[in-house]
Amino acid sequence: RPTPTLNLADEIKVMQRGRPSHRSLVLVVAALCAPCGARDAAAIKPRRTAQASTPANTNLERFIAGGSARALGQLVMYPADALRTLSQTRSGAKSLSELGVGVLLSGCATTSAFALAVGALQFAIFGALKPSVGVLGASVAGALGSCIASVPQEVIKQRLVTGIYPDFLTGLRILASTEGLAGFYTGWLPIVSRNVPFVVITFSTFAALQHALLRRRPAGGEGDDRLTFVENLRVGISSAQVACLATMPFDVVKTRMMTQAAAAGAPPYASVIDCVRTMAATE
């Protein structure tokens, strides 16, 4: 049997004419309480937490994601990075017009594969230590740990771009036979001096910008606990720009130390300090 339609106005008239029925009282009370109940339900609706919507990544996932991101980033930016290296070399080194545009891609695939290990180490260490030591401590540890792979990669890449080595495998053989293991870590001090503050500034700036963006989100909204792809891209680029400007002097010293052989006739730098003093005096 169909339920009769309840009409609040009719029931109020009945109540005004005489003794209200149980049905009238129930209808009026329900009508009055309905808006309050809806507001209360909305007020007590639990806000999704970041932990519930975005479960923590495992070490293997961080390893794969970090390595892939680093390798892809280097692969895409390799020509720009090669131009930066050529612009930082010492007077007497060959220019792009002398070396040819091919050097902008020299060793691109092989050294970008090297970057898999660099990014994997960095992000795995960062993700594992962040809960216990915070963003700053995890950033320092990740930067230091990744230098095990990043310094040899940087040495070979810089020398390929400046024409010291003709190709990756030949460069490996020459470096190993003439300089030994120590050769793979030429210029380790300036690169560590660059990498550690670069990573710390990048991660810290990223975390600060991310926190600021999320705080502006209305509570309880869809996706209020994570950034969109475009927001992540904007925050990442901004963070890297800040870090790049802050650490550029270290980067120049690193390039000079690693590519001394490219400057024909120039006396080699005796040390990092000598490199800094010579640049300050002559340039």
- First-to-final CA distance of the chain: 97
pLDDT the model gives residue 21: 52
pLDDT tens-place values along the chain, 283 residues long? 555 544 545 544 554 555 555 554 444 444 444 444 444 444 434 444 444 455 667 777 877 888 888 889 888 999 999 999 999 999 888 889 999 999 898 888 888 888 888 888 888 888 889 889 987 888 889 888 888 888 998 999 999 999 999 999 999 999 999 999 999 999 999 989 888 888 788 878 998 999 998 888 777 666 567 888 899 999 999 999 999 999 999 999 999 999 998 988 888 899 999 999 999 999 9
Q: What six digits make up the tokens of 201?
A: 């500034």
pLDDT the model gives residue 2: 53
pLDDT the model gives residue 88: 93
Dihedral through CA 116, CA 130, CA 200, CA 125, nearest 10? -30
User: 148: closest CA among 109, 130, 122?
Assistant: 122
Q: Rounded to an integer, what distance in angstroms lies between the CA atom of residue 123 and that of residue 67?
A: 8
